[in-house]
Amino acid sequence: MKKVLIIGAGGVGRVVAHKCVQAVKDGYFSEVMLASRTREKCDSIAAELSIPVKTARVDADNVPELTELLLAEKPDLVINVALPYQDLTIMDACLEAGVHYLDTANYEPRDTAKFEYSWQWAYQDKFSEKGLMALLGSGFDPGVTNVFTARMVKHHFDRVDEIDIIDANAGSHGQPFATNFNPEINIREVTAPCRHWEDGKWVETGALKTKHSFDFPEGIGPMNIYRMYHEEMESLVKHFPTIKKAQFWMTFSDNYLKHLEVLQNVGMTRIDEVEYNGVKIVPLQFLKAVLPDPGSLGPLTKGRTCIGVVARGVKGGQEKKTYIYNICDHEACYRETNSQAISYTTGVPAVVGAIMMATGKWMGKGVFNMEQFDPDPFLKTLADYGLPWVEVSADDIPAL
């Protein structure tokens, strides 16, 4: 029985809180607490829950403040669903207070939109020496996509040669322009140069320059997908070195791309400071302040998401293709947790990762990515907690 502290009371934090309550009722956790920068947001989430959940205000950029909270509350595990900027400070506080750590996105410095695990992998010895575990990227992508790949390696292939991670939001919120998770983080990610892995090295191309159509299953149908960089490729090609080619694809509507192009052209996506009326502002942070709060999109969003991995490789001397995916319905997520499917598909795997750690099914000393553990217990619990998945092996799965 473990006490869990959630840090971050945004869209994902709301889903994590709801699903942690389910995990308490199922006997995995003894107690749940929610802390964030704005205490009122924690309180309003706590008011939706069916068991009492203690709340607190904390500045997760401040290691002494975080450490004080951890020492006072004595959680066994922190689920970090604040922003990627806070990963290292929260890891530092976990080391100080002797608490296990889990997050859903890799650390990013504020001044460069750079997505890599180097900063967090550098904590390997510190966590190991303290007998603690840090589980990195336990969302959907990264997260479940890593575990889908681990399942391919374990059950479907003797050798995986190529993977395509394909993320579709086939839903709509009816707003002229809005992002479905934190706008600052989302826009930093999609405007970053594209990189994919090919023949042992990273190949860089312009952001969203490569486009295909992919025919999504279960009635979703064909949608345009655009190649971009995504962090899970870095750990997957490290841990599964037979992978010769790894690409990540995401759907964007023409409307989203049109708005993004204009915002980029006029400088509104810049992440450096500009002076305005004697005040220094970061244009992208100002843009975030005027865009719809992703949390407000929950009741407006209809349709489904489809996120999965296509792998190509060899089994028993034969070439083979397998596709594993999850389909998630925005409105069903909202009925259950007051959040749309993007927050839901991130929050549920965070809680499932925490359950893996709490039960000892996934436990070790040091810093780990998801594919380093046995995929089977995770995928079973994932389905039980609301994200069932489907796998198909067929020759006609399209190559990208």
**What are the tokens at 394?**
């067929």
Question: Which of residues 55 and 247 has its CB atom nearest to ligand NDP in the complex?
Answer: 55
Of residues 297-356, those binding ligand NDP (CB under 6 A): 342, 346
Amino acid at 89: T
Question: Which of residues 295 and 313 has its CB atom nearest to ligand NDP in the complex?
Answer: 295
73 exposure class (CB count in 10 Å sphere: 0-12, 13-18, 19+): middle
3-state secondary structure of 307: strand
Minimum CB separation from ligand NDP for residue 109, in Å?
A: 14
d(CA 154, CA 371): 10
d(CA 95, CA 89): 10
Could you say whether residue 36 binds ligand NDP (CB under 6 A)? yes
Minimum CB separation from ligand NDP for residue 201, in Å?
A: 25
- Residue from the set 75, 171, 294, 308 that interacts with ligand NDP by CB under 6 A: 294
Please give the size of the binding site for ligand NDP, defined by CB under 6 A.
33
Minimum CB separation from ligand NDP for residue 320, in Å?
A: 27
- Among residues 192, 145, 186, 138, the alpha carbon closest in space to that of 165 is found at 145
**Helical H segments across the chain, by residue range:** 11-25, 39-46, 63-73, 87-97, 118-121, 124-129, 144-151, 183-191, 232-239, 254-265, 283-290, 330-337, 341-358, 375-384
DSSP 187: H
Question: Which of residues 32 and 313 has its CB atom nearest to ligand NDP in the complex?
Answer: 32
d(CA 31, CA 162): 42
Question: Which of residues 239 and 365 has its CB atom nearest to ligand NDP in the complex?
Answer: 239
Of residues 168-197, those binding ligand NDP (CB under 6 A): 181-182, 185
Question: Which of residues 157 and 325 has its CB atom nearest to ligand NDP in the complex?
Answer: 325
Tell me how many helices (H) and strands (E) the chain has: 14, 18
Could you say whether residue 60 binds ligand NDP (CB under 6 A)? yes
78 to 107: interface string for ligand NDP, x by CB under 6 A: ---xxxx-x-----------------xx--
Question: Which of residues 11 and 75 has its CB atom nearest to ligand NDP in the complex?
Answer: 11
138 to 167: interface string for ligand NDP, x by CB under 6 A: -xxxxx------------------------
Residue 207 has a CB neighbour count (10 Å cut-off) of: 16
Report the b/e string of 169-180 with b at 16+ CB within 10 A. Answer: bbbebeeeebbb
Radius of gyration of the chain measured on its C-alpha atoms? 20
What's the CA angle centered on 56, arms 50 and 60, to 5 degrees?
Answer: 125
Could you say whether residue 5 binds ligand NDP (CB under 6 A)? no
Minimum CB separation from ligand NDP for residue 84, in Å?
A: 5
- Residue from the set 1, 26, 38, 276 that interacts with ligand NDP by CB under 6 A: 38
Minimum CB separation from ligand NDP for residue 86, in Å?
A: 5
- Residue ranges in contact with ligand NDP by CB under 6 A: 8-13, 36-38, 41, 58-61, 81-84, 86, 104-105, 139-143, 181-182, 185, 294-295, 342, 346
